Structures are given as structure tokens and as C-alpha cells.
Structure 1
Amino acid sequence: MSRQFVTEAVMMAIYGQLLVPAEPVEYLVPYTTVLELYELKDSSEPLMNHPEDERHVKEKIAELISYFEEPLNQKKLRRCLNMPWSKSPSILVGERARITVVNGVDNAAYGELFDPIETELLLASQRENAPILTDQLELIQRIIEGGVPVQVYDIDDFEYAMEEEPFRSH
């Protein structure tokens, strides 16, 4: 059985180690974060601190977009768009890594504490009983301070998160 994490599509481009885990893993990715890849690819706002890293990440984002646009993967993505909170069939992105896109639609549940994408991550985490994997320390802090009932890991703790027993809120 594979380990599940809720995360943003851009994390796959920035953190290549997510695509080559030691054990099978499934990333539950809100569809809005897939759409966000297009904005990030064309944005002049830097994602990384160093120009070489920025160039590399933009290339990886373009590769991920191309991968999602392949006919079979595009067909899988479209299947989840018919109903709120439906999931796409898994898209393999490595020998032991796969992405399942989630069509999250309720993004007002946490109001002003979290932006719409963050809210989708939180709700997907709650619905699927899967921890969130992020590199945004301020998001982790707001989750903890807000008492949001989800498990969250910093992406630097990915290996540790893979070893942890899954959190069950029920």
C-alpha cells in the first residue's frame, strides 16, 4: 500500500526527490494547483533565489505541464472535473510515485486565515485523511495556531513523513 500526501503540483517540479521515493507514494493534488503551474511558468515573480535554480524549476514546471497535457493524462484529468471532490485516475510520475488530481471546489471553509488553494489543501487532507506536504513554514504555523485538524509535514522532513504511521482523525 502506498503512502498518501496532499500537496501542490509545483512541489513536484521544485523538489525532484518527491518523484523518486524509496517506497510507493501517492500525491493528492488539487486541480487548481495544476492550473497554477501555467501561471508560475509564465510569471516574472521568482520562485527560487538563484538564477540557475530558477531556470531549472521553470524547466521542470514546463515538463510537468507537458506531461499533464499528454492525451492519456489529459483524459484522466478531465474525468475528475465532472463532480466536486472527485479524483482522477492515478497518473504515474515515477517508478514509485503517482499523482491523483482532486477536484476540490469548496475554498471558503477557512475564510480569511487561508487562501483558496491552502483551503483546498486543508479540505483534501481532511477528506482523504492524508497529511499535507509543503515547503511553506508560515502555512504550517497557521495550521498549528488555527488548530486545524490535519497532519502537516515540512517537505524537508519527507523521508521522516514516509516512515511515520498515517494519522487518522476518526
Structure 2
Amino acid sequence: MSRRFVIEAVMVAIYGELLVPSAPVEYIVPYTTVMELYEFQKSPEPLMNDPLDDSHVKRKIGELIAYLEEPLNRKKLERALSVPWSKSPAILFGDHVSWTVVNAVDNEQYGELLDPIETEIVLAAQRENAPILTDQLELIRRILEAEAPVQIYDIGDFEFAMEDNIFFNQN
């Protein structure tokens, strides 16, 4: 049985180790974060402080976009867009990693505490009974302030999260 996490698409480009986990993992990715990849790729604003790291991450974003645009993967993504909260069939990244893209919809449940994409991440985690995996400490703080009923892991604790005995109901 694979471990499941809700995550933003860009995190996989930034943290390559997420594609080589120690055990099977399914990433549940809100579609709006997939669309953000195009914005990040074209943006003159750096994603990383170090220019070499920034160049590397933007190259990885390009590779991720190219992979998602392959005909079979594109078809899977398009299937998720037909109805709010529908999910794509699994998009495979090697033997141990799969993505399920969800057509998440912001319902403004958390008001100004969370932006629309953050709200979609939280709502996806609630609907899928899966913890959130992020590197954004400020987001973690705001989710805690909003008292959202979700579990959150910092990406730095990824290996611990993979081994954690607190498992949600697996659908």
C-alpha cells in the first residue's frame, strides 16, 4: 500500500528526492498547482536564492511540464477537468511514484487566512484523508491558525512522514 500526500506540483521539481522515495507514494496534486508550473517557468522572478539552483529548478519544471504534456498524461489530466473534484487516473513517475491530479475547487472556507490555492490544498487533504507535504513554514502556520483538520509534514521530514504510523483511511 502506498503512502499518500497532497502536494503542490512545483515541490516535486524543487525536491527531486520526492521522485525517489523509499516506498511507494501517491501524490495528490491540485490541478491549479500544475498550471502554476507554467507561470513559474516563464517568470523572471527567481524561485531559488542561488542562481545555479534556480536554473536547475526551472529546467526541472520544464521537464515536468514536458512529461505532463505527453499524449497519455495529457489525456489523463483532461479527464480530471470534466467535473469539480474529479480525479485523474494515476500518472506514473517510475516504479514507486504516482500522481493523481484533482480538479480542486476553492470554496473560500478559510477566508483570508489561506489564498485560493492553499485552500484547495487543504480541502483536497480533507477530501482525500491525506496529509499535506510542504516546505512553506508560513503556510503550515496559517493552516494551524485556521484550525483546519489536516495533518501536515514539512518536506524536510519526508522520510519520517513515509514511516509515520499515523495513517489516514486509505480509500
Q: Which TM-score bucket, shorter chain as reference?
A: over 0.9
Kept in 2, the 8 Å contact 1:107–1:117? The answer is: no
Alpha-carbon distance in structure 1 between the residues aligned to 2:168 and 2:145: 19
User: Cα offset for 1:167?
Assistant: 3.8
User: Cα offset for 1:145?
Assistant: 2.1
User: Who is 2:49 aligned against?
Assistant: 49
Kept in 1, the 8 Å contact 2:110–2:146? The answer is: no
Paired residue type of 1:144: L
Unaligned runs of 5+ in 2: none
Alpha-carbon distance in structure 2 between the residues aligned to 1:153 and 1:7: 10
Alpha-carbon distance in structure 1 between the residues aligned to 2:33 and 2:87: 14
Alpha-carbon distance in structure 2 between the residues aligned to 1:49 and 1:16: 17
Alpha-carbon distance in structure 1 between the residues aligned to 2:162 and 2:107: 28
Alpha-carbon distance in structure 2 between the residues aligned to 1:142 and 1:12: 22
Q: Secondary structure at the match of 2:88?
A: coil
Alpha-carbon distance in structure 2 between the residues aligned to 1:32 and 1:143: 19
State percent identity of aligned pairs. 70
User: Who is 2:90 aligned against?
Assistant: 90
Kept in 2, the 8 Å contact 1:87–1:103? The answer is: yes
Alpha-carbon distance in structure 2 between the residues aligned to 1:157 and 1:26: 17
Q: How do 1:116-131 residues align onto structure 2 when only pairs under 5 Å count?
A: 116-131=116-131
2:158 equivalent to 1:158: yes
Q: Secondary structure at the match of 1:4?
A: strand
Alpha-carbon distance in structure 2 between the residues aligned to 1:31 and 1:47: 20
Alpha-carbon distance in structure 2 between the residues aligned to 1:167 and 1:89: 21
Paired residue type of 1:142: R
Alpha-carbon distance in structure 2 between the residues aligned to 1:111 and 1:146: 9
Runs of 4+ in 1 over 6 A off after TM superposition: none
Q: Secondary structure at the match of 1:124?
A: helix
Kept in 1, the 8 Å contact 2:134–2:155? The answer is: yes
Q: How do 1:110-149 residues align onto structure 2 when only pairs under 5 Å count?
A: 110-149=110-149
* RMSD of aligned residue pairs (Cα, Å): 0.9
Unaligned runs of 5+ in 1: none
